[in-house]
Amino acid sequence: MKRNAIQCGLLIALAGSCCAAAADPVWIDVAMVDYRFSPDHLSLEHGVHYRLHLENRGKELHEFAAPMFFAAAKLPGPARSL
C-alpha cells in the first residue's frame, strides 16, 4: 500500500513536470529498509524536477517496481546531466 502511494505520487508529479524548463532537481532520498520505505509518502509539486535516490539499507534484497511511473517519466539521456 505504501509503495503504491509513493509510486502514484511520483507518477503524478513527474508527468506534470516533464515539460517544465530545466532546473536543478530537488533530491529525494528514500531508504528501503526490510520491505518498508522511509519516508513512506512524498509530496511533490507540479513543474518541479526531482531526482529520486533509492537506497537499500535493510538486510533483505529490495526492489522498486513502478512501470506506470517509468512509462510516464521523462528521463534525460546520457548527454544531459542532472
Q: Which three cell numbers stand for residue 72?
A: 510516464
pTM recorded for the entire structure: 0.56
pLDDT at 38: 93
Whole-number average pLDDT of the chain: 74
From the number of C-beta atoms within 10 Å of its C-beta (0-12, 13-18, 19+), residue 6 rates as: buried
Mean pLDDT of 55-63: 86
Q: 61 pLDDT band (50/70/90 cuts)?
A: confident
- In the prediction, which pLDDT does 78 show? 61
